[in-house]
Amino acid sequence: MKAFEYAAPSTIESAVSLLGDQWGETEILAGGTDLITSLKQGITAPDRVVSLKHLGLNDITVDEDKGTVTIGAMTPMGALASDNTIARHFPALAKAASNLGSPQMLSTGTVGGDLCQRPRCWYYRNGMGLLAQKDGKSLVEAGDNRYHAIFGNGGKAKFVSASSLGPALIALGATIATSSRRIPASEFFATPKSESERETVLKPNEIATAIEVPLSGLKNATYEVRHRRGLDWPYATASVAFQANGGKAQVVLGHVAPTPWVASQAAAVLNGAAVSSEIAAKCGAAASQGAAPLSKNGYKTKMVETAVKRAVLIAAGLQAEG
């Protein structure tokens, strides 16, 4: 870890002013569970680290008039997982948070950090670059890509988005407020085309401050395919939200693409149809259409089918939470 300057400003304006306008000059420190590892791995070596610890931004508030729940970006994942309002209205979010499986991670990791964390791709984490190119070829394509993307992998980015909350937030139609603007969750994530880009549309000196989730009464759920039960990454995730009678459906996949992946053809299956086991299975099958597996990750297609099917059934109350 290279030495760096440290600041812990008490206002968002100060924090923004301390950030550089080029990626890598400065880094934002939220819970630290990803950044400190990244610093040790040398995949980022900023001159300054700006901590958000003293900005507050860690409340969950309900605005009945506006019909929204606002989650401060510095809210610990554990607080999100155990919040009654969230559990009642947004089980898809509560489940995605609690599935982290580690009390230590839940107490320190933050909601904003979850959205902005860097990919876990082992080529990236081993210092071979975000896009893992060597001599103009993809190391991922030629190598071990069992945990890599099956959707949206036509460009150089083959990694999967690490965000646990992203799929659920998109499915629930959330908006992300930053130090300078408001961004629909569905437009928040981006697929980098070069090493100098990142995985969100945030600018280097822009800070995600809060997430607003509309109280739209949608049935929703998240299902993650996991092997180990404690702290671990899911193989594939599905977050779904839809009206009780079908309609307004959203199906969003996690850990299968460089961003959370909106499966609109799967959502179409749900729209206008009452949920049944058969519809859920059809929805799962539709979600996996268009998958373009690499050499070692074809199995994820089946997992996507299952995850979507089960998330739909859980949201509809036809199956217990898995």
Q: Is 133 in the site for other proteins (CB under 8 A)?
A: no
Binding to other proteins, residues 144-173 (CB under 8 A): 144, 146-147
Cβ contacts of 304 within 8 Å, gap of 6 or more: 150, 236, 238, 253, 256, 284, 287, 288, 291
Q: Where are the alpha helices (DSSP H) in 19-76?
A: 35-41
Cβ atoms within 10 Å, residue 243: 15
Which of residues 28, 29, 80, 218 is near other proteins by CB under 8 A? 29
CB of 9 to other proteins, least distance (A): 5
Which of residues 88, 227, 278, 320 is near other proteins by CB under 8 A? 227
Buried b (16+ CB within 10 A) or exposed e, 4-40: beebebeebeebbebbeeebeebbbbbbbbbbeebbe
Cβ atoms within 10 Å, residue 58: 17
The site for other proteins, by CB under 8 A, has a size of 69
Sole window of 85-93, 99-107, 152-160, 242-250 interacting with other proteins (rule: CB under 8 A): 99-107
Cα-only R_g, the chain: 19
CB of 115 to other proteins, least distance (A): 18
Which of residues 20, 23, 37, 87 is near other proteins by CB under 8 A? 37
Cβ contacts of 139 within 8 Å, gap of 6 or more: 123, 128, 132, 133
Which of residues 72, 118, 122, 311 is near other proteins by CB under 8 A? 122
List contacts with other proteins (CB under 8 A).
1-11, 14-15, 17-18, 29, 32-33, 36-37, 39-40, 47-49, 51, 53-54, 78, 101-105, 107-108, 120, 122-123, 125-126, 128, 134, 139, 142-144, 146-147, 225-233, 235, 296-299, 302-303, 305-307, 309
